[in-house]
Copies of this chain bind each other. A is one copy, B any other.
Amino acid sequence: MSNIENTIDRIQELIDSDTMQQLRDELNSFHEADLADIFQQLKPEERLECFVLLDEEKAADVIEYLPPQLQVEILGDIDESLASRLISKLPHDEAADVLGDMEEDETEIYLEKLPEKFSSEIRELLTYNEDTAGGIMNPQVLTVTYSTTVKDALDMIRVNAEKDSIELYYVYVIDKQEHLLGVVSLRTLLTKPNNLPISEIMDRDIVKVHVDDYQGHIADIFMKYQFDALPVVDQYNHLKGIVTWDDVQDIVEEETTDEILTSSGIVTDLGDDNDDDVLTGSLGHSIKARIPWLFITLIGEFIAVSVTNKYDTTFTALPVIAAFMPLLAGLGGNIGTQSITLMVRGMSTGQVTLSSGWKYIWRETLTGISIGAIFGLLVSLVTWGWQNNAQLGLIVGAAMALNMTIATMIGTCTPLILKKMKIDPAVASGPVIATTIDVIGLAVYLTLVTWYLISV
């Protein structure tokens, strides 16, 4: 699908000209991922009109690729019995996600319509927090016992390969009580003699996660070991499901968004059981997410105001002093933000650790001093030339150099200190450090100015 805009135009044309058979054929010829993209661009009524033209298998596949709001919207708009047929075609973890996103009474209606076994498995999945392994895992897993032979395991894989929702990479070895004992990869099975028992080839040293493990932890383990799937167990080591790379991919995107929004002072977890995200949720949700750190900034900036206000006689004597304040605060803030960003990102990719922290503090300080010196000199010369006042140039330049150096050091050290105190460095970093840099920068500048005024 080279150009989605053209495709959308083409589809809208077919809808308008009422050539239903052609529309049906064209829609069904797209890959489900492309259809999901197309549906996100269509108007709600067009979307519905197109969706009901899809073959049922295709329709279920498309549901999987759609974002949660659209899944719920479409399933709510179509015929209820069609909706429950589609839900029953989804992999268990997807079905649980979709049903979990609906209103509670709606969820119940569908659960009662679904096949007994399916719906009881979904009910169990719905008991887990959706940000934990239990809320992410697929409970359909290939299992064998200790004494199964390689041939029997391969035959079982062959039978299950028909079902798209079952992963084939690994077979898990369990006992009668479903305790996880070992794991064998499909790769290993393919290379071993047919009559060997699994117990002789299985790997007993299993990397696994717990149903209550938080999603960020799962992503870290996954990225570290680079397995294709991870088994999920409960507290008694019963095998409950598996997590695969496409689940992890969603987690990583979500965690990265959280990290980015958090460091700009947006609260991503309001803890009000409200799934809405900041961009698409209600206006009230968006305001609540953004006010807390702005309010803390407000307090910080009032401190800056009261510090600055002590120099009122300075402003009366030499008003140009006031005019330079935005310059100093702006550049201090920017270079400080660069340092914070480098450190917070470095910590989240694992490049910066507490033990290697000193190296980065030293390096960033050198960077701050160097850039501070360059910009200090530049600002001195420009100010001298512009205001025809060498001393003013010297003061502003010196304040700039000091300010940028201090801002870099604060921006580098604070995330490390927060991490040491086991506080998420992203949470408090952005807005608070920016305000601190503002206050300190202004204090440095105005102190230099006062010394100068006293000395003349």
**Residues of B contacting A355 in the complex (Cβ-Cβ under 8 angstroms):** 41
Q: Does A234 contact B (CB under 8 A)?
A: no
Q: Which one, B158, B261, B431, contacts A191 given CB within 8 A?
A: B158
A396 vs B431: C-alpha distance when bound (angstroms): 21
Q: Which one, B278, B312, B335, contacts A290 given CB within 8 A?
A: B335
9-residue interface stretch from A83-91, A96-104, A110-118, A370-378: A370-378
**Residues of B contacting A327 in the complex (Cβ-Cβ under 8 angstroms):** 298, 301-302, 304-305
| A290–B168 CB distance below 8 A | no
Q: How many interface residues does A have (CB within 8 Å)? A: 104
0 or 1 for each of A245-266: is its CB under 8 Å from B? (1 = yes): 1100100110011001100111
> In the complex, what's the smallest C-beta–C-beta distance from A343 to chain B, in angstroms?
8
A355 vs B42: C-alpha distance when bound (angstroms): 10
Q: Does A19 contact B (CB under 8 A)?
A: no
A37 (CB) vs chain B CBs: closest residue: B224
**Residues of B contacting A24 in the complex (Cβ-Cβ under 8 angstroms):** none
Q: Does A274 contact B (CB under 8 A)?
A: no
Interface positions of A from 351 to 409, Cβ below 8 Å from B: 351-353, 355, 360, 363, 366-367, 370-371, 374-375, 378-379, 382
**Residues of B contacting A228 in the complex (Cβ-Cβ under 8 angstroms):** 228, 245
The residue among A245, A283, A345 with the most chain B CB atoms within 10 A of its own CB is: A345
Given contacts A283-B366, A298-B379, 9 further A-B contacts (CB under 8 A): A41-B355, A253-B349, A266-B341, A297-B330, A298-B378, A300-B330, A305-B327, A326-B329, A333-B333
**6 closest pairs, A vs B, by CB?**
A322-B322, A312-B319, A315-B319, A264-B341, A309-B323, A308-B323
Chain A positions near chain B (C-beta within 8 angstroms): 31, 33, 37, 41, 67, 157-158, 161-162, 164, 168, 186-188, 190-191, 205, 207, 223-226, 228, 245-246, 249, 252-253, 256-257, 260-261, 264-266, 278-280, 283, 286-287, 290-291, 293-294, 297-298, 300-302, 304-306, 308-309, 311-316, 319-320, 322-327, 329-331, 333-335, 337-338, 340-342, 345-346, 349, 351-353, 355, 360, 363, 366-367, 370-371, 374-375, 378-379, 382, 430-431, 434-435, 438, 442
